[in-house]
Structure 1
C-alpha cells in the first residue's frame, strides 16, 4: 500500500548522506514512522527509533514487521518498560526515551549504533534532552553517529540553533481530506452540565454523518468515566462498544483496542493524549476533541507533580485532528470556537521546564557532568534551578566531591526515589529480597494513584499478602516492577549472607550520630511488627505532617515539613480519621482551587514518632510577631525543616532586640506578602530573570530593607499593606541593570507607543494590548538583550484574546489574514490593513 511519504524516501536518504543531523517535518498520517526506518536499513546496520510512548513503540515495530514480512523480534523489534521483543541481530529497534538514556550509561560512545531516529520529537521528555546533548558532544569529538528528527508539528528554530547545518525537509502530505467542525460556543474547562450537553451533541452529529468508529480525546480518567456513564444511559449509543485508552490500562488491552482485535463495527474510544500521535487506530475516521489535557508539572513547594486541566496547544490539536484521516476521509469535531483556537499556545511547554529533575540530575552527575550547568543542554534550565538540585543531592548525601555516593549510585541503579532508596536499604536488613521488592512496587503504585486510601503498616502488609495470593489489582505491573527491583538488589552483594551485606551498607550510608542511634533502635525492634513502621518513618522523614488542633481532637488540615498546609483526603470523611497528631503524607494533589490534598497517608503512633522522627528534629530560635498582642516574641522550638513539632519557650522581645532578626519576620510572611503585593512579586521575578540569564547577579539584603522600613515607622501590624519601592535599596548600577534589561515598560519607537510588561511567576514575560496597537511592527519585541522574546497577547476590539504569539512576523503572514477576514465585517471601524507589518498610522 502506497503512503504519501514513499516518493520522498530517496530525498530523505540523500539529505542524510549530506548532513549528520536531519529534520523531516510532514503531515500526520503520511507514514514517517513505519516507512522511513525500513527504507534506510540497507544503509545503516543498526537503527534506534525513539518513541515517547510504549504503545507507539510496540505498534510501529509490529506494523513494520507485518508490512516487510519480517519476524517481530528479529529484523525489527522493540524494548519498552515491562516488555521487549528483540535480539542481537535486530537492525531496527524501537525504544522509549528513558531506555535510550539507560543505553547511553552502559554504552557511552554508542558503539554499534549508526542512526538514531527521534519520532514525534515535539513530544520529547527530558530524557531526550539528555540523549541529544550527549550525542552532540560525541559528534563534536568526531563520532559519525547520525540523528534524524521526525514530527508533524515542531518549532524548527531551537533545532537549527542547536545543530549547525541541520538538514531539513518540509513535506505537506495530508493522506486523505479532513472536514473540521468548530463548536460555536467557547471552550469549557471542566465537566459540567454545559460540557456534557456539548459532548453529547457533538457525538450525535458525528453519528448522523455516518461515522461508526469515533476517537474521543478527554483530559483524564475522571472525564472518561463521566463520558462512559453518559454514553451508557443514552439509547442512541447502545449499538456502540465503549472502549478506554489510558496509561493505567494493561498494555495487552491497549494493543487490542488499537488493532480492533474484536472486530467491532461500531465503537467509541475514550482516550487521553496517549493516542495523540504515532498511532493509526484501526477503523477510526472521526475524532471528537475536548481541547483539554491533564498537565503534570513539578511543584517545588510541595515536592509533588501537580496535575491541572489545561487547554491544549495548537500543535497538539493538529496531532489529534490527524488521527481522523489516516485510513480515509475523516471528520474532526473540535469542542471550541475558531476564536479559542487563535488564543492557543503554539506548542506545549517542554518537559524539562516543568518536571522534577531529580533522576535526570543524578544521571548527569554519574556521567561526569558537574556542575550541571556545563552540560550541553538542548534547552537549558536556569542556573538557579540546577544549583538548587545540586544542593539537594549534597544535603541528602547523594553526592560528595562532585561524584555520586554509594547512596546516590544505589538510587540511580535501582531507579528509586530518595525515600524508597532508604526504604530499600533498611527493609532489606529485615525482610527477604522478594518481599522488599514487592513492598516498594506497591508503595510506588500507591504513590502514583489518586485514590483516597490509606497506606499504613497493616494495609501495606495486607497488600503484600493480596499480591502473594493473586488478589491485588494491577498485580501484573507490580510483579514486573518488583522483578526489576530484585535484579537491582541482587547486584548489591553475594547471594549468601545478603542481609549482612545490606547492614554493612547501612553502617556506611548512615554516619550521623542520630542515624546510628536509630539503627540501634531499629535492631531492638527486629522481632516486632513495628519495625516496618519505623523504617517507613525514617525513610519518609521529609513527608511528616502535623495536624492542626481543633476544639475536639485534630482537624483534617495539617502542616508539611515545608511549612505548607495540606488537607487530608476527602473533607466529608474527616470524622473517620484516627485521632493521631502526626502522619506520613505519601501523595499530594493540587486541585483546581489550588488546595493541596494528601492521599495515601500513614498515621504515626506516639512510640513510632518518638523513636523514628523526634530524634531528627533540630533546635532553633526565631522571631514572631503576634498580631493580637502587638508584640514580638523569641520562640525556641524543635523543628523538622520548617515544621515545628514542639515549642520549648516563648519570650517577649523589646524593639531594641530586633536588629538583625528581621530576616525571620520577612521570610515567615513571604507568601502573604507576595499574594497581597503584586509589585513585590513582579520585582522578584524581574530580578530572577537577570540572575538566570546574566553573569552579573543582583543580590538583595532583606534584613537591611525591612529594618530601614521599620525605622521609618512601618509596623508589622500593617505589613500586608507595605508598598515601598524596593528598587531604591539596590545599588545605582543594579538599578540601571534592572531598568535596561527587564523594564517595567517597553517603548517601541517604530510605533511611538509604550506597553506595560507583566512578569508572572513561572511564565514568560508578556505584553497585552489590542491588535491594532501592534500594526506597523515588523519585528518581535524582546528583553534581556534579545535573549527573551516577550509573549504577546493580542486582543480583539471586544477586549478578549484572539491570538497569543511568540512570533509576530510569522503571525502577520499566517493567522492574521483569516482573523482580518472574520473581524473586519464585525468591527469595520477598526483598522484591518492587508499589510499589517508596514502599516502607517
Structure 2
C-alpha cells in the first residue's frame, strides 16, 4: 500500500476524535482522505466495533471508493467494506465501513434516530454542499446532541470554509493536511470563445493529444454535450487511435468502469465527464485536463414552483479541483476554454444547493423528524423561507402533511425514498389499479428524455419502453426509433425495481391512455386548460405553450410533466392528455363548486356565475339567477372603485357641494374627507346604502349625489355648512354670485368691478378665517384684476384699470370715487326716484 500525504495527519485526527465528538478535516484532492481515513479509524477504541458510515455525493463515487478500500484490504466489496446506494447495495453482517449516498443516511436516521450500531459518520466532499448533505448533517447534529453523545461526526473536504462548519459542530477542531499535487501548467484562450462548445472542445482535444502524453479528462456540463463531443471526435478521426469514454451518473456500472480504469486497449484514453469527476473519483492515467468552464445545476423558482437545470460557469474552487486532476500522477497540463480576463470574474464557490433547490423532499423529511420549522435545527445555510413555504403548500395538497404535521400517507412517501410527487403518484395510482403505469412514468420522469423525436407525448415513451422489451436485440428497430436504447433500458430496470418496491406485479401493463390521469396525481398544479391552439392556462395560474405542430396542442386538457418555467408562457417538454371526465371523477376533492359575483369591466355591470373550479381553471360555468344581494353590492362597489369616481353621475350641484366640503375639511379635520382617496376607501359607508340592489353602470345615473353627500353630514354640520362655506355670496349690487371652491386653498368670487362699488373690505368665509380671492371682471366678464385686498385695489389699482377700460366701455360707470358710487350690474345705475 503506497503511503499517501493524508497519513501524516492521522495521529492528530485520531487524537481529536478521541477527545471530542466532532472534527473537520481539510485536505486537497489526491491526499487519500476518501480511502485511507475510514480504514485508519476503523479499529479506534472509541468506535468499539461499531460501523462507520461515509457519505459520498454520488453513486459512482460511493461504489468506486468502496471497491478501492476493499482492494486495499485484499477483500471483495461487501465484506469489511460495502456500499449502499439507491436501488443497489453490497454489504453484509461483517461490514464495518459502509459507503453510502447522502439520501441513504436520511433514510437510516428516519428509521432509527439514534443510529444504533453506528459510531462514526463521515461527510466526504462536504464542500459540494448538496441538499441531502446539509439535511443529513442537520439531523445528525441533533441526533448527536439529544440521543447519541458518543456518536462521532467527521466533515471532510478539499476546499471548505472550515471555520463555519467547525462552529456549527460546537467548536470542533480543524485539521489540515497536505496533498501530493504535481505542478499543472494552465493554458487559457487568447480571446473569448465564440464557436460552439462542442467544436471548441474537439479542437482542444486535438491540440492536447499533440502537445503531451497521458490520458485526457474533459469536463463538460452534461450528458448531451458529452454525446455531441464524442460524435465530433469520431468524425475528426480521433477515435481511431484513442479510446473515448463518457462518464456521467446515468451510465451503467460497466460503462463507468471503462472510464475510470486504465485503458483496456493499451492506448491513450479520452474521458468525457460531467462534474462527477471533480472529486472522490480517481480516473487512472490522467495527465491532461480540458475544462469547458461550465456545469449544470438545478435552480428552483418559488414563483413558479418549478425546478430547471441551468448551465452556469464553474466557481473558482471547482475550476481548481478540475485542474488538480491533471497533477495526480505527475506534472500535468490544464486547458481552460475561457480567457484570463474571464477567469477574474469567477465566483469563489458555487451556491449551496439548499439555497436554490426544490425543498419539497426536505420539508417532508423534517416533518417526519418532527420538525415543522427549519429554525429548530442547526444549518450552515438555513432553507429559504419562500421555497420552504411553497414546499409545505404542495405537501399539504398531496395529503402528505396537515398544517406542518406529517400524515400516514406522508410517512409512506418518506419510506419510499422517491421525490414526494412521484411517490404520491405511485401510491394513489396503485389504489386505482394503475400502479404499474405509474412506476413506468416515475422511471421515465426520473431520467433524461431518451427520445430524440419532436413529439412530447408521454404515452409515446411508455409505449416505446414496453416495445423495447420485445425488440431489445433488434438493432434495426432500435436505430429506426430515435431512442437512446441505453437510457431506455435503465428506465425499464428502474421501473421494475419500483414495481418490486411498491408490491406491483412486474408484468403490469395498464392502458397508456391513463397516462394523463396518473401524471395529474403527481403534478395537479400543472394541469393545463387550452386557451387557444398550443396555449394553455395551468392550474397554478401560470401560462404554458406547446408548438401548434404538436398533436397535444389541440387537446382541451393536458398535464405538463416537464416545462422550463421561463417567461409568461413556459415551454412544455413532456406532457400527456387528460379528459374533463377524468378530472371530475378522480380529482373531485380538489374541485370547488362556487358562485362568483364580480364586476365585469367589458359590460360595465356585475355578473354572477356558478361554476366548477380546479385551482385557477374554470371547468364549467353558468349564470347564477339569484345571487346573494350582499355579494352583488360588494362586487358593484369593487367595480366603482376600479373604474374610479368618474363613473358616478356628478351634477353641477353635486360637484360644487363636494368642492365646498373639501374646502371645509382642509380647515376643520372633523368634517368628512371627500377627496378621491377618502371616498374610495369608505364607499361601503357613504354610497353602499344608495346602490343596494343596483347591478350596472347605467343604473347609477339615478343617484342624487348632492343628497348623498349631505347625508354624510351631522345635523350641526348641515346648519353650519352655508355659514362656513356658502355656495353663493350677495355682493353690493344685490346679486347672489356663486363661489368657486375648485381650489380649496383659494376659493374664488368672480364679480364685475361695478357690482363691488362702495365695499372696502374683502369678503371672508369660514367664520372670517379665509379671505376670498376676488377675480374682478370687466363688463365683458374678463378678469382685469386678482386680489385679496379690495381696499388697496380701490385706492391704487382701480384708476389704472379705469384708464385702460373707460374708452372700451364708455356706457358703464367709472366714477372717480368708487367707494361712494352706487354699485350696479347694469351699464348705468337706475336713477333714484325722488320721494
TM-score band, normalised by shorter chain: 0.5 to 0.7
Cα offset for 1:577?
4.3
- Residue in structure 1 matching 2:528, options 545, 554, 565: 545
- Residue in structure 1 matching 2:557, options 582, 588, 592: 582
Say yes or no: does 1:66 pair with 2:71: yes
| Conservation of the 8 A alpha-carbon contact between 1:440 and 1:482 | yes
Say yes or no: does 1:153 pair with 2:159: yes
- Look up the SS of the partner of 1:288 in the other structure: strand
Counterpart for residue 286 of structure 2: 284
Distance in 1 between residues matched to 2:238 and 2:452, nearest whole Å = 33
Counterpart for residue 560 of structure 1: 538
Distance in 2 between residues matched to 1:289 and 1:706, nearest whole Å = 66
| Larger displacement relative to structure 2 (272-281 or 221-230) | 221-230
Cα offset for 1:658?
6.1
- Residue in structure 1 matching 2:170, options 164, 175, 178: 164
- Identify if the C-alpha distance between structure 1 residues 710 and 156 changes in structure 2 by more than 3 Å, giving closer, same or farther: farther
Distance in 2 between residues matched to 1:200 and 1:531, nearest whole Å = 45
| Larger displacement relative to structure 2 (355-364 or 538-547) | 538-547
Note the 1:194-593 alignment, pairs <5 A.
Answer: 195=197, 198-235=200-237, 238-260=240-262, 262-400=264-402, 402-429=404-431, 431=433, 437-438=439-440, 440-442=442-444, 444-445=446-447, 452-456=454-458, 460=462, 463-464=465-466, 466-467=468-469, 474=487, 476-478=489-491, 480-490=493-503, 534-537=517-520, 540-549=523-532, 554=533, 556-568=534-546, 571=547, 574=549, 576-577=551-552, 579-590=554-565
Distance in 1 between residues matched to 2:237 and 2:515, nearest whole Å = 53
- Identify if the C-alpha distance between structure 1 residues 710 and 433 changes in structure 2 by more than 3 Å, giving closer, same or farther: closer
- Residue in structure 2 matching 1:641, options 601, 611, 615: 615
Say yes or no: does 1:603 pair with 2:577: yes
- Look up the SS of the partner of 1:157 in the other structure: helix
| Conservation of the 8 A alpha-carbon contact between 2:462 and 2:512 | no
Q: 1:308-358 deviations in whole A, cap 9, x for unaligned? A: 111111111111112111122111111122332222111111111111111
- Look up the SS of the partner of 1:180 in the other structure: strand
Q: 1:581-624 deviations in whole A, cap 9, x for unaligned? A: 21111111357x89622122112346545645688543363767
Q: 1:424-455 deviations in whole A, cap 9, x for unaligned? A: 34443454876664454345447899975444
| Conservation of the 8 A alpha-carbon contact between 2:523 and 2:559 | yes
- Look up the SS of the partner of 2:276 in the other structure: helix
- Identify if the C-alpha distance between structure 1 residues 115 and 414 changes in structure 2 by more than 3 Å, giving closer, same or farther: closer
- Identify if the C-alpha distance between structure 1 residues 365 and 196 changes in structure 2 by more than 3 Å, giving closer, same or farther: closer
Cα offset for 1:709?
14
- Residue in structure 2 matching 1:76, options 56, 81, 101: 81
| Conservation of the 8 A alpha-carbon contact between 1:659 and 1:707 | no
| Conservation of the 8 A alpha-carbon contact between 1:633 and 1:650 | no
Cα offset for 1:397?
2.3
| Conservation of the 8 A alpha-carbon contact between 1:453 and 1:601 | no
Distance in 1 between residues matched to 2:544 and 2:553, nearest whole Å = 17
Cα offset for 1:662?
10
- Look up the SS of the partner of 1:574 in the other structure: coil
- Tell me the TM-score normalized by structure 1: 0.67
Counterpart for residue 131 of structure 1: 136
Distance in 2 between residues matched to 1:235 and 1:533, nearest whole Å = 46
Distance in 2 between residues matched to 1:179 and 1:632, nearest whole Å = 76
| Conservation of the 8 A alpha-carbon contact between 1:582 and 1:604 | yes
- Identify if the C-alpha distance between structure 1 residues 336 and 537 changes in structure 2 by more than 3 Å, giving closer, same or farther: closer
Cα offset for 1:167?
0.8
Counting matched residue pairs gives 626
| Conservation of the 8 A alpha-carbon contact between 2:613 and 2:619 | yes
- Identify if the C-alpha distance between structure 1 residues 175 and 663 changes in structure 2 by more than 3 Å, giving closer, same or farther: farther
Distance in 2 between residues matched to 1:171 and 1:710, nearest whole Å = 73
Distance in 1 between residues matched to 2:298 and 2:357, nearest whole Å = 8
- Identify if the C-alpha distance between structure 1 residues 412 and 635 changes in structure 2 by more than 3 Å, giving closer, same or farther: farther
Note the 1:613-628 alignment, pairs <5 A.
Answer: 616-618=590-592, 619=594, 621=596
Counterpart for residue 56 of structure 2: 51
Distance in 1 between residues matched to 2:414 and 2:272, nearest whole Å = 36
Cα offset for 1:61?
1.4
Higher RCO (CA-CA < 8 Å; seq separation 6+):
1
Distance in 1 between residues matched to 2:576 and 2:358, nearest whole Å = 24
Q: 1:161-202 deviations in whole A, cap 9, x for unaligned? A: 31222111223424222111222324x5xxx62645643443
| Conservation of the 8 A alpha-carbon contact between 1:19 and 1:165 | no
Cα offset for 1:402?
4.8
| Larger displacement relative to structure 2 (640-649 or 429-438) | 429-438
| Conservation of the 8 A alpha-carbon contact between 1:65 and 1:71 | yes
Distance in 2 between residues matched to 1:347 and 1:277, nearest whole Å = 15
- Look up the SS of the partner of 2:255 in the other structure: helix
Counterpart for residue 10 of structure 1: 11
- Identify if the C-alpha distance between structure 1 residues 450 and 658 changes in structure 2 by more than 3 Å, giving closer, same or farther: farther
Distance in 1 between residues matched to 2:513 and 2:603, nearest whole Å = 46
| Conservation of the 8 A alpha-carbon contact between 1:635 and 1:647 | no
| Conservation of the 8 A alpha-carbon contact between 1:82 and 1:477 | no
- Identify if the C-alpha distance between structure 1 residues 709 and 73 changes in structure 2 by more than 3 Å, giving closer, same or farther: farther
Q: 1:610-665 deviations in whole A, cap 9, x for unaligned? A: 64568854336376786xx69687585643212344554699x9999565679999
Distance in 2 between residues matched to 1:630 and 1:156, nearest whole Å = 66
| Conservation of the 8 A alpha-carbon contact between 1:438 and 1:464 | no
| Larger displacement relative to structure 2 (425-434 or 266-275) | 425-434
Counterpart for residue 701 of structure 2: none
Distance in 2 between residues matched to 1:333 and 1:707, nearest whole Å = 67
| Conservation of the 8 A alpha-carbon contact between 2:599 and 2:638 | no
- Tell me the TM-score normalized by structure 2: 0.67
- Look up the SS of the partner of 1:143 in the other structure: coil
Distance in 2 between residues matched to 1:114 and 1:170, nearest whole Å = 23
Counterpart for residue 38 of structure 2: 37
- Identify if the C-alpha distance between structure 1 residues 598 and 434 changes in structure 2 by more than 3 Å, giving closer, same or farther: closer
| Conservation of the 8 A alpha-carbon contact between 2:517 and 2:578 | no
Distance in 2 between residues matched to 1:416 and 1:469, nearest whole Å = 29
Distance in 1 between residues matched to 2:121 and 2:495, nearest whole Å = 30
- Identify if the C-alpha distance between structure 1 residues 341 and 664 changes in structure 2 by more than 3 Å, giving closer, same or farther: farther
- Identify if the C-alpha distance between structure 1 residues 477 and 203 changes in structure 2 by more than 3 Å, giving closer, same or farther: closer
Cα offset for 1:288?
0.6
| Conservation of the 8 A alpha-carbon contact between 1:244 and 1:270 | yes
- Identify if the C-alpha distance between structure 1 residues 377 and 99 changes in structure 2 by more than 3 Å, giving closer, same or farther: same
Note the 1:621-770 alignment, pairs <5 A.
Answer: 621=596, 636=609, 638-646=612-620, 648=622, 659=637
| Conservation of the 8 A alpha-carbon contact between 1:183 and 1:337 | yes
What CA RMSD, in Å, does the superposition of the two structures yield over aligned residues? Answer: 3.9
- Look up the SS of the partner of 1:78 in the other structure: strand
- Identify if the C-alpha distance between structure 1 residues 434 and 658 changes in structure 2 by more than 3 Å, giving closer, same or farther: closer
